[in-house]
Amino acid sequence: MVGKRNGTIPNAHFHKDWQRFIKTWFNQPLRKKRRHNARLERARRIAPRPTQKLRPLVHCPNVKYNSKIRLGRGFSLDELKSAGIPRRFAPTIGIKVDYRRKNRSVESIQRNVARLKQYRSRLILFPLNSKKPRAEESSAEEISKAQQLTGTILPIVKSKKIVKSSHVPTEAEKKFNAYHSLRRNRAHKRLVGIREKKAREAAESLDAPKKK
């Protein structure tokens, strides 16, 4: 079959035993339930450790989204060094590390270092040997208060800036219609030449002497 002009040539070859190659996903609801049960089982297995690891705050790439902040892949080596956490020790206490990431500004280092210190101050570290606890490990009283944290650790909190104005709008400002004003000014700009020409012609016709 030949297509005409810009028409598409039909290429739906449904006669080649197409029913044998169809794949369906009718088991998706049960897969969802299985993933949920797997998450619960993992949480019980690693308890009282948190279900997720700490991630840094990074800016999104490209010009369109770089003003937004999201969770990154892992902390850089400079951030861990500034926070005083060894890079090999960080993964053992639930901190994600990204060896490839580089810091491009001082603000990003300061923000993530503060995030690391906040996490470290709240962390309850169980001792490897209860008879010989180390200096950075928690006491027995703190261990008794340990609870498992589910969800994102130190999530992003978006602050809403509410600007209160002390200016009280007048009656003229309340009656002002921005849409009509813009349309009126646009019409004036478009018709200014025509209106000047008509006014000039009207003035010339009045000044011209009348024929007897």
Least confident of 143-152, 168-177, 185-194: 143-152
What mean pLDDT, rounded, does the chain reach?
89
Q: Indicate if the pLDDT at residue 164 is higher than 70.
A: yes
pLDDT value of residue 115? 96
Neighbour count for residue 44 (Cβ, 10 Å): 9
User: Per mean pLDDT, which of 37-41, 124-128, 147-151, 169-173 is the most reliable?
Assistant: 37-41
Residues whose CB is less than 8 angstroms from the CB of residue 21 and which lie 6 or more positions away in sequence, other chains included: none
Top pLDDT among 8 and 80 is at 80
- Nearest CA-CA partner of 94 in 72, 119, 111, 115: 119
Q: Indicate if the pLDDT at residue 90 is higher than 70.
A: yes
pTM of the model: 0.64
Distance CA 212, CA 203 (A): 20
Q: Indicate if the pLDDT at residue 183 is higher than 90.
A: yes
- Would you give the distance in Å from CA 127 to the centre of its chain? 37
